[in-house]
Amino acid sequence: MKQLITILFLTFSSISFSCIGKTKIDELVDQVESKVIDWRRHFHQFPELSNREFKTAEKVAAHLKSLGLEVETGVAHTGVVAILKGGLPGKTIALRADMDALPVTERVDLPFASKVKTTYAGQEVGVMHACGHDAHTAILMGVAEVLVQVKNEIPGTVKFIFQPAEEGAPEGEEGGAELMVKQGVLKSPDVDAIFGLHISSQIQVGMIGYRPGGLMASVDDFRIKIKGKQTHGSAPWNGVDPIVISAQIINSLQTIVSRQLQLTKQAAVVTIGSIHGGVRSNIIPEEVEMIGTIRALDKDMRQQIHKKIRNIATGIAESMGAEAVVEIPMSTSYPITYNTPKLVQQMLPTMQRQAGENKVIIMDAITGAEDFAFFAEEIPGFYFFLGGRSESISAKDAPPHHTPDFKIDESGMKLGVKTLANMALDYLSN
């Protein structure tokens, strides 16, 4: 009898929430929209780099505390975590936003454009939210404010995760989602599922892009050092030229994807982004260093690429009398961002209800990477893309992410607040 009463109570609670709580959400989102835009503009004007999000975290924490939430700061250096306990028993869901900016000098003509400068990798650089993390942070602050107002009707717990260093921790430091997981952010209480979003300058406002399974690629950076023998540039036969050897290696690396992987299965990329060696025109240097990035959407292909890079670099160098030292990863290594298919299917009606069925589209996988992947490796996860491109701009003319001209249409953020809030409620209610 006791068990029956509990089932009836939970069933009634779920029905009650469906009838009462959800009718309030649109109204609450309307009320918070202007705040979300103001928060986003503040963060945009005052961006901070990875593991240095001190003022950003301070503002986020102050807002969450004002809502009466349990707030923990200093997680993974500058992360902020807040817990909202619903009025009814149930599961625990996590919602995540990233807070860090990039070493990019802004060119967008906005009254709240960033004028911030700092030192990065020994150089003075501008700092800009050139990937939309300012919008993500503001959206999740809005979601927290909305859900607090219906907390008595929530069957379960919501954990808000404001994450630093998604773009990668500074050299020699740990950070980001990987460190948060290591520090137990998905525990106490144990999280059953996690959701996150990324605003996109390529997807039109009002639309949502999603994909079950592998959505974004793994990433591994790498370094190859070619050690030759220095000599005068006029007599190369007296030395071992690491520059010529590097050229051979670079050309051969491009055959890994084009000739050695089954590309009908998944996409992959091997890119050399920097090469350096020598100081004068008439000196063959002793050493050349190159660095690059590996992207893969399949775990086995990822491992194949690692092995083939090592074999190609060391084999070519040895055949020409030099030595190759290969380091994979060099500093950054994120797994594939994988959306749990069952969770995606469960949440699809929620997205369609918020945006409209014809505005929720399955998108192609992306060879960019996202450290939300560390969360989704531990528990079921769902990461989706939110439209941020103005209808007046075509996709081909929209400035891409990580560029000085990146911009978003702020009217798209309202849908982000609605969707994340309703995802949390629907998941917990079911």
Picking from 306, 333, 360, the residue at the C-terminal end of a domain is: 333
Which residue from 176, 164, 158 is spatially nearest to 136, judged by alpha carbons? 164
190 and 292 assigned to the same domain = no
175 and 247 assigned to the same domain = no
Confidence class of residue 23 from pLDDT cuts 50, 70 and 90? Answer: low
Range of the domain at 290: 219-333
Q: Average the pLDDT over 54-76 and give the result.
A: 98
Q: Average the pLDDT over 64-91 and give the result.
A: 98
Cβ(350)–Cβ(25) below 8 Å:
no
Instruction: Tell me the pLDDT tens digit for each residue of 296-351.
Output: 999 999 999 999 999 999 999 999 999 999 999 998 999 999 999 999 999 999 99
Report the CATH number at residue 228: 3.30.70.360
248 and 131 assigned to the same domain = no
191 and 274 assigned to the same domain = no
155 and 210 assigned to the same domain = yes
Question: What is the dihedral sign for C-alpha 300, 332, 370, 123?
Answer: negative
Instruction: Tell me the pLDDT tens digit for each residue of 86-104.
Output: 999 999 999 999 999 999 9
Q: Are strands 218-227 and 287-296 parallel, antiparallel or unpaired?
A: antiparallel
Amino acid identity of 233?
G
3-state secondary structure of 12: helix
Which residue from 85, 110, 81, 84 is spatially nearest to 96, judged by alpha carbons? 81
Active site residues: 334, 410
* pLDDT at 6 exceeding the cut of 90: no
Report the CATH number at residue 360: 3.40.630.10
115 and 196 assigned to the same domain = yes
State pTM to two decimals: 0.92
Picking from 333, 355, 390, the residue at the C-terminal end of a domain is: 333
Of residues 299 and 12, more confidence is placed in 299
Number of domains in the chain: 2
State how far the alpha carbon of 34 is from the alpha carbons of 56, 142, 403, in Å.
19, 10, 27
Please give the pLDDT value at position 24. Answer: 87
Q: Average the pLDDT over 228-249 and give the result.
A: 98
Please give the pLDDT value at position 103. Answer: 97
* pLDDT at 8 exceeding the cut of 80: no
233 and 205 assigned to the same domain = no
Instruction: Tell me the pLDDT tens digit for each residue of 136-182.
Output: 999 999 999 999 999 999 999 999 999 999 999 998 899 999 999 99
246 and 193 assigned to the same domain = no
Picking from 272, 303, 333, the residue at the C-terminal end of a domain is: 333
13 and 48 assigned to the same domain = yes
Instruction: Tell me the pLDDT tens digit for each residue of 34-61.
Output: 999 999 999 999 999 999 999 999 999 9
Please give the pLDDT value at position 4. Answer: 46
Percent of the chain with pLDDT over 90: 93
Q: Average the pLDDT over 207-216 and give the result.
A: 98
Cβ neighbours of residue 18 under 8 Å, at least 6 residues apart?
429
344 and 387 assigned to the same domain = yes
Confidence class of residue 21 from pLDDT cuts 50, 70 and 90? Answer: low
353 and 323 assigned to the same domain = no
Please give the pLDDT value at position 5. Answer: 44
Q: Are strands 268-276 and 208-210 parallel, antiparallel or unpaired?
A: unpaired
213 and 248 assigned to the same domain = no
